[in-house]
Copies of this chain bind each other. A is one copy, B any other.
Amino acid sequence: MYIIMVYDAKPKRGVKLLKFLRQHITWVQNSVFEGEITESSFEKIKTRIKEIINKEEDSVIYYTFDSGNYKARGVLGVEKNDLDTFI
Task: Identify the A interface with B (CB < 8 A).
Answer: 1, 4, 6, 8-9, 28-32, 46, 49-50, 53-66, 69-80
Contacts and interface: CB of A to CB of B under 8 A. Distances in A.
27 contacts: A4-B4, A4-B63, A6-B6, A8-B80, A28-B61, A30-B31, A46-B76, A55-B77, A58-B78, A59-B77, A59-B79, A59-B80, A60-B75, A60-B76, A61-B73, A61-B75, A62-B74, A62-B75, A62-B76, A63-B63, A63-B70, A63-B72, A63-B73, A64-B71, A64-B73, A65-B70, A69-B71
Contacts of A28: 61
Q: What is the total number of copies of this protein in its complex?
A: 2
A85 to B, nearest CB: 15
